[in-house]
Structure 1
């Protein structure tokens, strides 16, 4: 951890509610806690194409999209409050963001815009067939990011 502590200043982690994302978030929090002056951007990307409401082919109307956005903004603000309360992190060192679009593209565009020097990704929650069809966001980020990427893996034996 000491090597990371003085190397990375602007860390990015994307969260989607999966176990892998939770592991990545925990790793990112630990990295920031042990890095003097480091910042953490926590990004949630909403892919409207993958949200299923009432089955395939039913378009989301503006009101539903607004409700989804409000619920996710609320989730991100509560996540920030919880992380600040549970960890010894400066308020300014933790930022939360909500974006719409394809997570693969949005995460890489965000990294360029915010000049993150490390992206921490969780191992995929998809099964083998889903990875074949859509590919994992994590593997895409690892292949295409123009900064270092750390793959945070879930622990084999969870002690919770």
Structure 2
């Protein structure tokens, strides 16, 4: 049975797992002629401190991080339009600040009515997963729509 997804959300960052999730989401979007929302969430907690928590990050640095992330998303969209044959009205990029868990599970899908969430398998080590939990694990349990976790192919 093939499910006809219309609005696909893929959460990305700079990890290999996110790149694999994006590739899978693109394939699903192409097969279904679906809208593809590419979301990058800048975690407020991780932006508060840098250098191992030694130095508080200032507003200018947050602005620079935001601008760089926006440019990365714009370049990614252009690449997908040129190389994957997706159309202008099919690919949308979004940048949000907040907790990735909350934004990916609740905030964004409520606004855009996504019917599939695609995420890469966590890149965390076992100890970090036990202590902090992964976004992918949380999303799998809390999402109100289908979730595809793309496993690392390495």
1:64-83 Cα distance to aligned partner (Å, 9 max, x none) = 11101001001100111111
1:32 aligns to what SS in structure 2? helix
Identify unmatched segments of 5+ residues in structure 2.
none
Among residues 25, 28, 37, which one is paired with 1:28 in the alignment?
25
Q: CA deviation at 1:57?
A: 4.6
Question: Which residue of structure 1 aligns with residue 119 of structure 2?
Answer: 121
**TM-score, normalised by the number of residues in structure 1:** 0.90
Counterpart check, 1:103 vs 2:128: no
Aligned-CA RMSD value: 1.3
Question: What is the rounded CA distance, in whole Å, between the counterparts of 1:11 and 1:54 in structure 2?
Answer: 35
Q: 3-state DSSP class of the match of 1:143?
A: helix
Q: Which residue of 2 aligns with 1:45?
A: 41
- The runs of at least 4 aligned residues of structure 1 exceeding 4 Å deviation read none
Partner of 2:7: 10
Question: Where does the alignment leave 5 or more consecutive residues of structure 1 unmatched?
Answer: none
